[in-house]
Structure 1
Amino acid sequence: MRLTNCLSSHICRICTLHTRNLTQKRSRSSKFCSSPLEAVKDVQDGSTCMFGGFGLCGIPENLINALRKSGVKNLTAVSNNCGVNDFGLGILLMNRQLKRMIASYVGENKELERAFLNGELELELVPQGTLAEKIRCAGAGIPAFYTPTGYGTLIHEGGAPIKYAPGGGEIIMSSEPKESKKFDEIEYVLEKSLSADFAFIKGYKADYAGNVVFRKATQNFNLPMAKAARKTIVEVEELVDIGDLPPDLVHLPAVYVDKVLQGERYEKRIERLKLSDPNDKASENLSERDEVRMRIIKRAAREFQDGMYANLGIGIPALASNFIPKGMNVTLHSENGVLGAGPFPEPGLEDADLINAAKETITVLPGGSYFSSDESFAMVRGNHIQLTMLGALQVSKFGDLANWMIPGKMVKGMGGAMDLVSATQGRVVVTMEHTSKGTHKILDRCSLPLTGKNVVDTIITEKCVFKVNKDSGLILKELWPSVSIEDVKENTGCDFHVDSENLTEMMQ
Structure 2
Amino acid sequence: MNCLQTYRQINYISRHLVVYRQSLYVGQCRQLSLSLSRNAKLCTDVFEAIKDIKDGSRIFVGGFGLCGVPENCIAALVKSGVKDLTLVSNNAGVEDFGLGLLLRTKQVKRMISSYVGENKDFANQYLSGDLELEFVPQGTLAERIRAKAAGIPAFYTPTGYQTLIQLGGAPVKYNKDKSVAIESKPKETKIFDGKHYVLEEALSADFALVKAWKADTAGNLVFRKTASNFNPVMCKAAEVSIVEVEEIVDVGELPADQIHVPAIYVNKFFKGKQFIKKIEKTVVKKSKTENLANNLDAKKLKAIQTREVIAKRAALELKDGMFVNLGVGIPVLVTQYCSDKVVFHSENGILGMGPYPEPNEVDADLINAGKETVTTLPGSSFFGSDESFAIIRGGHLNVTMLGAMQVSEKGDLANWMIPGSLVKGMGGAMDLVFSHYSGTRVIITMEHNDKNGGSKIVANCSLPITGAQCVDTIITEKAVFNVDNGLELIEIADNLTVDELRKCTAAAFRVSPNLKSIQQIL
TMscore range, shorter length: over 0.9
Amino acid at match of 2:195: I
- Structure 2 unaligned blocks of 5 or more: 1-27
CA distance in 1, matches of 2:493, 2:112: 43
| Structure 2 residue aligned with 1:234 | 243
CA distance in 2, matches of 1:343, 1:457: 27
| Structure 2 residue aligned with 1:300 | 314
Residue by residue over 1:77-133, the C-alpha shift from the partner in whole angstroms, topping out at 9 and shown as x without a partner, is 000001111111110000110000000001221111111111010011110000000
SS of the residue 1:355 aligns to: coil
**CA gap 1:492/1:35 in 2 versus in 1, 3 angstroms:** same
CA distance in 2, matches of 1:279, 1:31: 54
- Contact kept in structure 1, 2:318 and 2:342, CA below 8 Å: yes
1:476 aligns with 2:489: yes
| Structure 2 residue aligned with 1:263 | 272
Q: Which residue of the other structure, out of 426, 443, 446, is the alignment partner of 1:429?
A: 443
Amino acid at match of 2:510: H
Amino acid at match of 2:261: L
| Structure 1 residue aligned with 2:79 | 69
Equivalence map 1:291-440=2 (5 Å): 291-325=305-339, 329-423=341-435, 424=437, 425-436=439-450, 437-440=452-455
The CA deviation at 1:280 is: 4.6
Q: How many residues align?
A: 480
CA distance in 2, matches of 1:476, 1:263: 57
Q: Which residue of the other structure, out of 114, 126, 132, is the alignment partner of 2:142?
A: 132
**CA gap 1:111/1:209 in 2 versus in 1, 3 angstroms:** same
The answer to which structure has the higher helix fraction is 2
TM-score (normalised: structure 2) = 0.90
Equivalence map 1:431-450=2 (5 Å): 431-436=445-450, 437-450=452-465
CA distance in 1, matches of 2:194, 2:289: 50
CA distance in 1, matches of 2:289, 2:172: 44
| Structure 2 residue aligned with 1:486 | 499
The CA deviation at 1:279 is: 5.3
**CA gap 1:219/1:407 in 2 versus in 1, 3 angstroms:** same
Amino acid at match of 1:130: T
Identity %: 56
SS of the residue 2:367 aligns to: coil
CA distance in 2, matches of 1:320, 1:243: 44
The CA deviation at 1:169 is: 1.3
CA distance in 1, matches of 2:127, 2:177: 5
The CA deviation at 1:282 is: 2.4
| Structure 2 residue aligned with 1:147 | 157
**CA gap 1:315/1:280 in 2 versus in 1, 3 angstroms:** farther
1:276 aligns with 2:285: yes
Amino acid at match of 2:252: G
- Structure 1 unaligned blocks of 5 or more: 1-17
Q: Which moved more, 1:449-458 or 1:283-292?
A: 283-292
| Structure 2 residue aligned with 1:32 | 42
Amino acid at match of 2:337: F
CA distance in 1, matches of 2:430, 2:162: 11
CA distance in 1, matches of 2:382, 2:421: 36
CA distance in 2, matches of 1:309, 1:217: 19
- Contact kept in structure 2, 1:29 and 1:208, CA below 8 Å: no
Q: Which residue of the other structure, out of 116, 119, 133, is the alignment partner of 1:109?
A: 119
The CA deviation at 1:281 is: 4.5
CA distance in 2, matches of 1:355, 1:438: 34
**Over 3 Å off, 4+ runs:** 278-281, 283-286
The CA deviation at 1:277 is: 2.7
SS of the residue 1:433 aligns to: coil
1:57 aligns with 2:67: yes
- Contact kept in structure 2, 1:84 and 1:109, CA below 8 Å: yes
RMSD: 1.8
SS of the residue 2:215 aligns to: strand
The CA deviation at 1:276 is: 1.0
1:454 aligns with 2:469: yes
CA distance in 2, matches of 1:340, 1:103: 26
